[in-house]
Structure 1
Amino acid sequence: MQASEVKELLEARLEGAEVMVEGEGCDFTLKIISPVFAGCLPVKRQQMVYTHLNEMIAAGTIHAVTMQIFTPEEWAARQG
């Protein structure tokens, strides 16, 4: 699986998401920024992302995923 495929998938399924993906093959590092994460605890945020990746993880297409998940406000604060 290519990083661009992971990016396209998550941006299509997570409302208003901006996804940055590093890696290739079956190991990826994700930075995901979306307003849908507002008010959610970190575990809930990860669950929201895994919902869209579980099928590929189960099939072995994706093996390892590392995530950093932010709301747009959290991301802006990190950049400033």
Structure 2
Amino acid sequence: MPMSAAEIERLIKESLPDARVRIEDLAGDGDHYRAHIVSEAFRGKSRLQQHQLVYQALGQRMGGELHALALVTAVPED
């Protein structure tokens, strides 16, 4: 069963409370998303480390309920 964009956003915000999250359904099937995430937690981390934080927030759902998630991560602008 596909995940909703709201559920993806909820899981990310539980793990990264300051995050600004925008989710796009890329294929209209509830299975392929792009997430734009801005969080102070990403500061000083490589892109790989930033993405790992998001994948940790989603846990076992990646590859199961959530088939594909493209990530765009950034730190807040001052």
* TM-score bin, normalised by smaller chain: 0.7 to 0.9
CA positional deviation for 1:52: 1.5
Distance in 2 between residues matched to 1:65 and 1:39, nearest whole Å: 23
Q: Number of matched residues? A: 73
Q: Give unpaired runs (5+ residues) of structure 1.
A: none
Q: Give unpaired runs (5+ residues) of structure 2.
A: none
Counterparts of 1:1-80 in structure 2 under 5 Å?
Answer: 1-23=3-25, 24-58=29-63, 60-73=64-77
Query: Could you state the TM-score of these two structures normalised by the residue count of structure 2?
Result: 0.84
SS of the aligned residue for 1:15 comes to coil
Distance in 1 between residues matched to 2:17 and 2:48, nearest whole Å: 18
Identity across matched positions, percent? 30
Q: Following superposition, which runs of at least 4 residues in structure 1 exceed 3 angstroms of deviation? A: none
Distance in 2 between residues matched to 1:6 and 1:48, nearest whole Å: 13
Compare the two structures and name the one with the higher helix fraction: 1
